Each structure stands twice: as C-alpha cells, then as structure tokens.
Structure 1
Amino acid sequence: MHVVVLGAGYAGLGLTKRLESSLPSDVDLTLVDESPDHLVQHELHRVIRRPGVANEIRLSLPGALERATARVARVEAIDRDERVVSLSDGRLEYDIAAICLGARTAYYGLEGVPEHGIPLKRLSHARQIRKRAREALRADDGGRIVVGGAGLSGVQVAGELAALAREEYGSASIALLEQRARVAPEFPENFGRAVERALEDDGIEIRTGATVTGADADGVRLESGERLPFDLLVWTGGIRGADALEGERPTVEADLRLDDRTFALGDAARVVDAAGEAVPASAQAAVREARTAAENVERLVDARRNGGEAVDPDLEAFRFESPGWVVSVGDEAVATVGSRVLTGRPARALKASVGLGYLSSVGDPGSVAGFAAREFLSERFRRDR
C-alpha cells in the first residue's frame, strides 16, 4: 500500500511526520514537493529586514523525515479516478493521498498587479522586496511603498518594511490597503483593532474600504478613482488554489475527505469544521488539521488492509478551536489569548514561543538554537515599549 502526501508546507510536513510513526512499516509513504526544503512561512517576512533569518526558517526535507521518501517534483495534475499524480518528472500512483499543496497568490484579474506587485510566498520574494525597498528608501523623497491586503501577511510585511526604514533610513511613506472595513478582517475584531493601533504607532497609513482596480509601473488605481503612486508594490491581497487544482480550493467537510481515497487540508482546501464553521486559512489551522488527517489516514489504511474496499471506517471530525492569534508588527507583536488582547513584551514572548515551538517539532537543533538566540536574546525582546 502506498500513501502519498502532496505538498510539504505546514499541513503536508506535519501530516507526514505523524504518519511516519503511526503507519505500519510495510506501508510506503512518499512526500512530494517542488522544493527540497520546508519553509516556515509565518517567519518569511523577517527576511526582508534580516536576510540571515533565511537559514533558520528553511529546513531540509530529507533531514526532517525519518522513513518517508521525499520526492522533489512539481505536482502538475491529480487523477483521482485512476489514483495517479502527474509530476514534472513522471507519474506517481497511490492508494491513499492527501492534498496539501497550499495556496498561491490571487490577483483576481486585476490589470497590472501581477506584473508590478511582488507577492510573499518564497524566499526569493522576500529578497526581492528587500532589494526594491532599499532602492526606494534611498530616493530623495524617502520612498513610497504600498502593501495591498491587510491580512496577517500584509500586516507583517508592512511592519517589517517600516522597521527597515526606521533602522536604515529614518522613515518612509508606507500605505496598507484593505478592501474590507478593517485590518485583519478574518480575525476577531478586538485583535484587529489592536493590530491597527500597532501599525499606526509605526507610522503606517491604513486605508480600509480601498478597492484596487489595477496598477502600472509606478502607481495603483483605486475604485474611487484615486491613484496612489509607489516605488514598491507588495501584493498580499488574497489566495487561490494550486495550479494542479486549476486554481480552485475545494471544500471539504470535517473529516477532511475529498473522496473515498483522497484528503485535502491546509490552505489547499476550504475546510468546514464539525461545528459547520469555515476554518481560516492559517498555519495554526493547517497544523491542527494535520493531526485529524493523520488519524483518518491511519484508520483508512487499517480498514483497507483488513476489510478491503467494502469497509468504510468512521473518521474523526475536525473541530477548530483556536487558543488565540499572534502577529508581528515590526519589532512589536499583538496577540490574543481567549478574549484577552496582549501587546508589548507578553505578545513578543508569545510570538517567539510559537515560532520556537514549531521549529522544535520539525526542525534541526541548529535552526532552533539560532531562532531562540535571535528572539529571546535580542534587544527588542528585553525592552518594553
């Protein structure tokens, strides 16, 4: 029997590591990703200001795995009827598969935005943003930077750019655009208000209710008719499904099952949990979904081995219960624990602890030590605002 996990992000790597210890030894397990490394995406924005962070948040897949086979290839198509995956280097047959391909940046057909806006999904994107930002900030007028999309990724990018400007150039004009009525619109309102205050404290202009209609080489157009000039446009305005899924993010119910042999989880899918609630696309949700998916894959493997095709086991239902949320804003952080909002040193400590905890679960000792030293021994952690 062959179990295949497609994608090595939070959901895919977490699922694979759990299956390594829970599946029978005679079940083959393969993890497929187009990169040989796992990227700790929620720390990617740090590379904009601290390029050396890349060494701590990029983990070798072969080094992270124990018995699973890591196959470096791009997933091009999935034939669920035939249970065959078309890869950039050939084909891969499976008995049970989990689609964890993550999400791509969505541009919604906005003219000029894909050509002139830089997303933040890869290390190369972070490095490109850093290069372009430093060029812009050296300009006589101090540079004009626009970040499109005020979800957690956009918030962290804007905060990091403001901190970079403050450290190296004194100041910059940074505008954060959001189509909806508030910052972090997918998250609790009290959290969003605290994030907005932290952004404003960093001198970032927040423009809510701002619908982008297009862009050219040096300006973004809004539905209101206004034009915002920029030297750098960063686009974090939404997500779509992987190309292998034709850009779609299929909806799955609480058992995370797409069909009788295929699961979908993480940002690759729109997950509806056991309470009937839509689960936000986030690292936190992906890690938790991987636990449920691992249990269900194990049950399905056991049923197929012992009862054949006729046996359809009871599967565990995923229920998303978030302990809270945390986001960095430059050197600061905002967090929620239950209904309580944290800022200052407690929020910074929580943000650092979340990153360290995740790296400890999947990373090598060198990455963990480097991350811990940077977070807990840094001046920003010791001080209070």
Structure 2
Amino acid sequence: MRIVVCGAGYAGVTLAKRLEDGLREAEVVLVDREPSHLIQHELHRVIRNPGLADVIRLPLESLFDRVKVREMEVESIDRDERVVRCADDEIDYDYAAVCLGAETNYYDLPGVEEFSVPLKRLEHAERIRERVTDGSRVVVGGAGLSGVQVAGELAAMDRDLSITLLEQFDAVAPNFPANFQAAVTEELETRGVDVRTETTVERATEGAIETADGERTPYEAFVWTGGIRGPAAFGGERPPVRSDLRLDSRTFVAGDAARVVDDDGEAVPASAQAAIREARVVARSLVALAGRGNDGFGPRPERFTFDSPGWLVSVGDGAVAQVGPTILRGRAALALKASVGAGYLSSIGAVRNAVDLVNEEVGD
C-alpha cells in the first residue's frame, strides 16, 4: 500500500511522522518542491535576524527514517485515477493527503503583486530586509497574525522606520476575540506602528498605496499579507471540506489548502495550530483504513472538532497570548510561545532546533 502526502508544511510533516510511526508495512511518500520543512510561524523573525534561518529550516531527510522524500512540485491530483502528477513524474496512490498549504492572495488588485513582497519563504524575508533602510517608510497590507508579526518585527529594527499597518476590517487580528485584538493593537501602537483599520487597499503604484477612501500612502518598502488562496494544484481554490477531512474515499486534505468546517459546524481558521491538529486526525483515520488493506472500505474516518486552547502572536521582542479568557503579555507570553514552538519541533524529532529556538526566544 502506498500513501502519498503532498506538501511538507505543518500538516504534511506531522502526518508523515505519524504514518511512519503507525504504519510499519505501508510505503509513505512525502512530496514537496523544497528539500526542507520551514517553521513558518517564526519566518518573520528572519527579517531582523537572518541567522535564525538555520534554526527554522529543517532538511526533510533528517526528519524521517522510512518516509520516502521526493523533491518535486505537485501540479495536480487526479482523484479518479488516484495519481499525483508532478512536472516530470507521477505517483500512484492507494490513499493521499493534500497538505499543500495556501499561497498569497492579491485579489487582482492593480499593482499589489507587482510592487509588494509577501512572506511565505526565506527569500521573502531576505527581500524585505534588503528593501528596508534607515528612515524607510514601510507599509504592511493586512493585519492578520502574519501582518502583525511583520509590523512588530520591523518596529524592533534599529533603523528609525515609519511603519503603517493597513487592515480593511475594523480591528487587527480579525475574527479573533476582542480582548486579544485590543492587546495586540496596544502592543503595536506602543512600538510606534501606525495602525489603520477600516482601510481598504485599492491599488499600488511604484512608491505609493492608494486606498478606497482616496488616501495615498507613500512607501519605500511594501509587504503584503492581505489574504490567502488555494495551491496551484487546486487551481488557486480552497475546496470546502467537512469534518472527516475527505475530498473522496481515498483522498484527504489537511491544513490551509482547504476550507474546513468542523464537526460542530464551525469554520476552522487557517493556522498552524489547526493544520497540526487536522493532520493528527487524518493520520488516525489512515492508520485505521490502511489496516483493512486495499478494499477501500474500513472504519468511518475520525471527525475533526476545533476547540482552540488559545492564540499566540509575536510583536517584536514581545508577544500576546490568550489562554481561555486570560490575556498574557511580556515575558509570560514569550515563554508560552517558546514552549509551544519547542513542543512542535520536539514532536517531529527536531530536538536540537527546539532548544535553539527557546534560547533565541527567551534567552537574554
């Protein structure tokens, strides 16, 4: 039996590790265009600290004993033929899991893709750093968690920057609890970030952002974190998936590649936390199904319920955490963030990186 995992982000690596441990007889193949797993939630820190790249970039071959790693870009998944198609090869599967994550969505806004830098890969962090010089005016489009972290990291740089964070909704960190939003806003403003909510980007030109209310904001560097779309293998779409996380009887999906509705009927936010927990559910379902052989029948897949214990976001050298109704800031939030990150790294076997990350996060 062959199980193909498409994508080596949080969901894909977590799933492949669980399958390696739980299925001794099955062939598990992990396909990704990159040879490394990137700790995405720490990527913003590479803008200020390029040396951190070696801590958050993990060679895939170092994480697995039996999983076969194939460095190829997934172009499509033929679910009728049960084939993963790549540029120069195709891989048959008995079961597959699509964990390709999401790409940056520019919403066809004129000039935004052309003039901005997203933050999805290490080279993006490097480009942002190169564009930011002493006295630069920087605009960050989108105040979700990624945009908040970019703005906070830029504000912590010793370069006398003017940083403007634009958000079309009425608060930063939209869709999160109000007390979390308020704490994040205060952390940003304390660091000198100009937070502008209810401000919709309409277009970008070389050197300025134009908003729907007619305002024009000049910039030397423009970072866009304003939304996500599905992977190219799904034609840029994020298909809706119910709580069994199935596209069909042989194909599962986990992470940001799909729009998941959990077993309580609630939309699941696109986040590392959700991706990891979805992958664990898919792993248990696949282990149970694989135990029945290739007949395509088996126990009903486990259903996913997302009940978040809380949320974390970095803001420069600080952080905001929500645990239940309680908001943590300062050293307590940083310590919690470090422990969560280290816990994930340890779970995929990267103990040395976990130690290094904790030292970077809370060490003086």
> What is aligned with 1:215?
204
> What is aligned with 2:95?
96
1:159 correspondence with 2:152: yes
Q: Is the 8 A contact 2:288 2:298 kept in 1?
A: no
> What is aligned with 2:356?
370
Deviations for 1:15-58, whole angstroms, at most 9, x for unmatched residues?
000000111x3311100000000000000000000000001000
State the Cα distance separating 1:370 from its structure 2 match: 1.9
> What is aligned with 2:245?
256
State the Cα distance separating 1:372 from its structure 2 match: 2.4
Of the three residues 142, 149, 155, the one matched with 2:142 is: 149
> What is aligned with 1:49?
48
Query: Pairwise mapping of residues 191-340 of structure 1 onto structure 2 (< 5 A)?
Result: 191-305=180-294, 308-309=295-296, 311-340=297-326
Q: Is the 8 A contact 1:151 1:186 kept in 2?
A: no
State the Cα distance separating 1:295 from its structure 2 match: 0.7
- Secondary structure of the residue aligned to 2:156 is helix
Letter matched to residue 160 of structure 1 = E
Residues of 1 paired with 2:314 and 2:51: CA distance? 18
Q: Is the 8 A contact 1:180 1:210 kept in 2?
A: yes
- Secondary structure of the residue aligned to 1:303 is coil
State the Cα distance separating 1:312 from its structure 2 match: 4.4
State the Cα distance separating 1:302 from its structure 2 match: 2.0
Aligned residue pairs total 364
State the Cα distance separating 1:368 from its structure 2 match: 2.4
Name the % identity.
56
1:357 correspondence with 2:343: yes
Residues of 2 paired with 1:225 and 1:373: CA distance? 46
State the Cα distance separating 1:283 from its structure 2 match: 0.3
> What is aligned with 1:7?
7
TM-score, L = length of structure 1: 0.93
> What is aligned with 1:189?
178
Residues of 1 paired with 2:173 and 2:155: CA distance? 18
Deviations for 1:244-272, whole angstroms, at most 9, x for unmatched residues?
11001111111101101000110011111
Q: Is the 8 A contact 1:75 1:86 kept in 2?
A: yes
> What is aligned with 1:19?
19
Residues of 1 paired with 2:49 and 2:161: CA distance? 18
Letter matched to residue 333 of structure 1 = A
Segments of structure 1 that go 5 or more residues without pairing to the other structure are: 379-385
Structure 1 moving runs of 4+ over 4 Å: none
Q: Is the 8 A contact 2:341 2:354 kept in 1?
A: no
Letter matched to residue 235 of structure 1 = W
Segments of structure 2 that go 5 or more residues without pairing to the other structure are: none
State the Cα distance separating 1:364 from its structure 2 match: 3.1
State the Cα distance separating 1:5 from its structure 2 match: 0.3
More helix by share: 1
Letter matched to residue 206 of structure 1 = V
- Secondary structure of the residue aligned to 1:237 is coil
- Secondary structure of the residue aligned to 1:369 is helix
Residues of 2 paired with 1:315 and 1:358: CA distance? 24
- Secondary structure of the residue aligned to 1:186 is coil
> What is aligned with 1:122?
121
- Secondary structure of the residue aligned to 2:256 is helix
Q: Is the 8 A contact 1:59 1:363 kept in 2?
A: no
